[in-house]
């Protein structure tokens, strides 16, 4: 995955930061964490909540004294898993295999317990499945958390899965 001119590297690659540029405008950190088997990553921010969405691989998430093992072949064939923590809560990730993890953070003073989202508690909406625009906007909207199931959060997190030859932009939101 490339965003702008930054190539992802082993470890954490920042694409947006709350402290500068476009990240400051939207008060959001966005980055990609790449780990190899055995790598460990610890993240804790005193003033930012954080979410870690597994794109692919197998990892152990640990936060607030709880651990969960999660695996995902890829975002196209398997449902999403995510660790979501409040500011000041340390998140520890240990890779069992090569792993790619989307990292998102924002400022939030609200305290909440660490949440482990798994495929069983992720919402999937099948949109555009009634032949709208000749079937060109058929997609699955996957919501891990939003203002309905995580009102304490200042973020939303999800994925949109478009099918081959399809698109998703303004018309689906019209």
The pLDDT of residue 4 is 58
Backbone angles phi and psi of 95, in degrees to 5: -80, 130
The pLDDT of residue 174 is 43
Find out whether 157 and 142 touch, Cβ atoms under 8 Å: no
The pLDDT of residue 108 is 96
Q: pTM for this structure?
A: 0.89
Residues contacting 103, CB < 8 A, separation 6+: 12, 29, 30, 31, 32, 33, 43, 50, 51, 52, 53
Positions of the chain with pLDDT lower than 70, given as ranges: 1-5, 166-174
Q: How far apart are the first and last CA of the chain?
A: 29
């Amino acid at each position: 995955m490339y965003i702008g001119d930054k190539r992802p590297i082993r470890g954490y690659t920042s694409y947006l930061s709350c402290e500068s540029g476009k990240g400051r405008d939207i008060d959001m950190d966005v980055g990609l964490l790449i780990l190899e088997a055995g790598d460990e990553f610890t993240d804790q921010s005193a003033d930012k909540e954080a979410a870690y969405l597994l794109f692919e691989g197998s990892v152990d998430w640990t936060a607030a004294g709880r651990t969960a093992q999660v695996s995902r072949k890829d975002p196209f064939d398997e449902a999403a898993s995510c660790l979501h923590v409040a500011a000041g809560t340390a998140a520890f990730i240990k890779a069992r295999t090569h792993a790619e993890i989307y990292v998102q953070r924002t400022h939030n003073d609200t305290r909440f317990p660490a949440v482990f989202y798994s495929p069983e508690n992720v919402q999937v909406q099948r949109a555009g499945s009634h032949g709208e625009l000749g079937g060109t906007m058929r997609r699955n909207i996957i919501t891990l958390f939003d203002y309905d199931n995580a009102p304490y959060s200042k973020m939303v997190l999800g994925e949109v899965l478009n099918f081959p030859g399809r698109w998703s932009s303004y018309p689906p939101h019209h």
